[in-house]
Chain A
């Protein structure tokens, strides 16, 4: 079998990597979240819960956190509503075009995030493609202002960006369903609609849960889309964290908010894994 030296050589690099780039930074962040900043902008290493108190007391923090979750929830729902039918079509009806269509869904992931976000800016702006078109066909007299620099723009952009992430696990789950179960269902008299609700959907739940988790977690922590397209009303919690670590120079408060988000995401991952396990039957 493998020698001890070989085992050590294989396990050590990832272990070092995880320790240096994940565990230590998280630990530092955790420590920072209990410290504070003095009048003269120096970090004071005295342990207290002031930052966590601020998080609950100051409206803008918890409201932004809630808004971020609401945006992420909407992105999740829309990604599923787009991703599921697409995955279903590809898995069950696309036939020979399957591979080509699969690539078409994946290709946007190769395009820079920034380019895709800017593209929406060009489309949604007050003299953008959409507003120009609407005025040209006389549907509106003035540019619609809510299109850009609004939560709407953020949800739209994030949905566009994260739909492939919802699509992929759902597609994998659908591909995993033995086709003889679908045949058995038809054989027992179930119409295609009944077969979908009673067999295909229940068996694809693990993929839906994984896809929803991807879409929610990724959009919850997003800061570029709200920065570029969100405007004042579309600010998300990551923008606050970024400014606390940057211009505001309040690392301790930033760390406290980050730690709360980390906790939120980890517990979400934990529950989604339990849910996936409960719904998998192989």
Chain B
């Protein structure tokens, strides 16, 4: 636990405390606690139905939490109506006002705040320039493309200089190329403006590319909150390991400090009992004769399936005890059917079994 003084100096911008949401008897969110730091890019990642959009809507104020509190900069946020919160949202389908031009859309927040017209004009111009939409200032939203609408929605939110920007799957409607381009743009824009972003997505790759931290949500529970690197290399649960990248889940029994999983065995300083490990495909190598790394685990098997991914290739190897392992090897492929695999026990990560929920 951090000391009071420590907490004071590094107070989070947004603090979500024990938030729960019920729709009727159905719990959509259960006891969520999460902090967003100043200037942080936090991604709420989850499948559809995980409650990620509901959590975002609670922060924005479109839904109220059934329990728990929201705090922002030392003030209760959840008691304020959405129009008083210094939070702006980029909506999934942009929600641009169809009867207003691009320029009027961007000016909307400043107009309702009754800023002087001269200030509105210069700030709108600046915001449109930042998203490279100045040329379309006089167009109606229906006359510009999806990617352009997205930029306008971003400008419309950022022009108000919110303390926190919420983004609800803003890239999901774009095609793959444009999406990748926007990921990079969005991330550099966030660094430039220094505003905290809370970004909701179901796309784990997107989350990995853009985020400072990822909050992985599953059926209304937080599975893990960590940096992309950490969540990838040290997943806390079997679900986290599977949802982010490929993995091999090795289920077995620890007996006297040794983990046994079929033919595999390696030393694990754990109490006796069942255990579950995650082993990434790239941490398994094709073993070369006599070059075994000290302490490596070796196993023989047959190649059942190969999938070419460009620089690398994923192969499925069936070990003699029937265990299937996914292995990432260089794109040059493998010609032999019988292979020997090896991995270092230190790459096998102990994970929690995820509770079964529908």
The verdict on A64 contacting chain B, using a C-beta distance below 8 Å, is no
Task: Give the one of A186, A187, A191, A203 with max B CB within 10 A.
Answer: A187
Name the segment of A103-111, A176-184, A220-228 touching the other chain: A176-184
Partner of B99, one of A180, A190, A281: A281
Nearest CB in chain A to that of B159: its residue: A188
Q: How far is the CA of A186 from the CA of B160 in the complex (A)?
A: 13
Partner of A198, one of B62, B108, B113, B142: B108
Name the segment of B90-98, B123-131, B318-326 touching the other chain: B90-98
Partner of B112, one of A181, A189, A203, A279: A189
Query: What's the least CB distance linking A224 to chain B, in Å?
Result: 40
The verdict on B156 contacting chain A, using a C-beta distance below 8 Å, is yes
Contacts of B87 in A (CB 8 A): 187
Q: From known contacts A181-B95, A183-B82, A183-B91, infer whether A188 and B61 are also in contact, taking CB-CB under 8 Å.
A: no
Nearest CB in chain B to that of A183: its residue: B62
Q: How far is the CA of A181 from the CA of B142 in the complex (A)?
A: 14
The verdict on B23 contacting chain A, using a C-beta distance below 8 Å, is no
Contact status B108-A185, CB under 8 Å: yes
Contact status A187-B88, CB under 8 Å: yes
Q: From known contacts A189-B160, A190-B112, A199-B97, infer whether A180 and B82 are also in contact, taking CB-CB under 8 Å.
A: no
Contact status B109-A202, CB under 8 Å: no
Contacts of B81 in A (CB 8 A): 186
Q: From known contacts A203-B99, A281-B98, infer whether A187 and B112 are also in contact, taking CB-CB under 8 Å.
A: no
Q: From known contacts A189-B160, A191-B83, infer whether A184 and B97 are also in contact, taking CB-CB under 8 Å.
A: yes
The verdict on B136 contacting chain A, using a C-beta distance below 8 Å, is no
Task: Give the one of B91, B108, B156 with max A CB within 10 A.
Answer: B108
Contacts of B60 in A (CB 8 A): 183, 187
Q: From known contacts A203-B98, A203-B99, infer whether A188 and B91 are also in contact, taking CB-CB under 8 Å.
A: no
The verdict on A112 contacting chain B, using a C-beta distance below 8 Å, is no
Contact status B140-A281, CB under 8 Å: yes
Q: How far is the CA of A170 from the CA of B82 in the complex (A)?
A: 27
Nearest CB in chain A to that of B168: its residue: A180
Task: Give the one of B60, B81, B89, B160 with max A CB within 10 A.
Answer: B89
Contacts of A181 in B (CB 8 A): 95, 97-98
Query: What's the least CB distance linking A191 to chain B, in Å?
Result: 6
Partner of B83, one of A190, A203, A279, A282: A190
Contacts of B140 in A (CB 8 A): 281
Nearest CB in chain A to that of B61: its residue: A186
Task: Give the one of A181, A186, A198, A199 with max B CB within 10 A.
Answer: A186
Nearest CB in chain A to that of B62: its residue: A183
Contact status B156-A188, CB under 8 Å: yes
Query: What's the least CB distance linking B189 to chain A, in Å?
Result: 19
> Is chain A's binding surface mostly helix, strand, loop or mixed?
helix
Query: What's the least CB distance linking A265 to chain B, in Å?
Result: 29
Q: How far is the CA of A70 from the CA of B203 in the complex (A)?
A: 62
Q: How far is the CA of A228 from the CA of B42 in the complex (A)?
A: 71
Contacts of B84 in A (CB 8 A): 189
Contact status A198-B89, CB under 8 Å: no
Contact status A184-B160, CB under 8 Å: no
Contact with B along A185-219 (1 / 0, CB 8 A): 11111110010001100110000000000000000
Q: How far is the CA of A194 from the CA of B81 in the complex (A)?
A: 14
Contacts of B160 in A (CB 8 A): 188-189
Q: How far is the CA of A180 from the CA of B109 in the complex (A)?
A: 15
Query: What's the least CB distance linking A200 to chain B, in Å?
Result: 11
Contacts of B156 in A (CB 8 A): 188
Contact status B89-A187, CB under 8 Å: yes
Contact status B98-A187, CB under 8 Å: no
Nearest CB in chain A to that of B98: its residue: A281
Q: How far is the CA of A270 from the CA of B85 in the complex (A)?
A: 46
Partner of A178, one of B95, B112, B113, B157: B95
Nearest CB in chain A to that of B99: its residue: A202
Nearest CB in chain A to that of B141: its residue: A281
Contacts of B82 in A (CB 8 A): 183, 186-187
Query: What's the least CB distance linking A42 to chain B, in Å?
Result: 59
Contacts of A178 in B (CB 8 A): 95
Contacts of A190 in B (CB 8 A): 83, 108-109, 112
Query: What's the least CB distance linking A142 to chain B, in Å?
Result: 54
Contact status B91-A180, CB under 8 Å: yes
Nearest CB in chain B to that of A203: its residue: B99
Q: From known contacts A180-B95, A181-B97, A183-B95, infer whether A189 and B61 are also in contact, taking CB-CB under 8 Å.
A: no
Contacts of A202 in B (CB 8 A): 99
Q: From known contacts A194-B112, A198-B108, A203-B98, infer whether A187 and B83 are also in contact, taking CB-CB under 8 Å.
A: yes
Q: From known contacts A183-B91, A281-B140, infer whether A188 and B108 are also in contact, taking CB-CB under 8 Å.
A: yes
Task: Give the one of B81, B97, B109, B113 with max A CB within 10 A.
Answer: B97
Contacts of B142 in A (CB 8 A): 281-282
Contact status A184-B95, CB under 8 Å: yes
Contacts of B98 in A (CB 8 A): 181, 203, 281-282
Contact status A189-B95, CB under 8 Å: no
Q: How far is the CA of A52 from the CA of B160 in the complex (A)?
A: 63
Q: How far is the CA of A186 from the CA of B95 in the complex (A)?
A: 12
What are 28 A-B residue pairs whose CB atoms fall within 8 Å in the complex?
A180-B91, A181-B97, A181-B98, A183-B62, A183-B89, A183-B91, A183-B95, A184-B91, A184-B97, A185-B97, A185-B108, A186-B61, A186-B62, A187-B89, A187-B157, A188-B88, A188-B160, A189-B109, A189-B160, A190-B83, A190-B108, A190-B109, A190-B112, A191-B83, A198-B108, A198-B112, A279-B99, A281-B99
6 further A-B pairs in the complex, CB-CB below 8 A; given A181-B95, A188-B83, A188-B109: A180-B93, A186-B83, A189-B84, A190-B83, A198-B112, A281-B142
Closest 9 pairs between A and B when the two form their complex, measured CB to CB: A281-B98, A188-B109, A184-B95, A180-B95, A190-B112, A186-B82, A186-B83, A187-B89, A202-B99
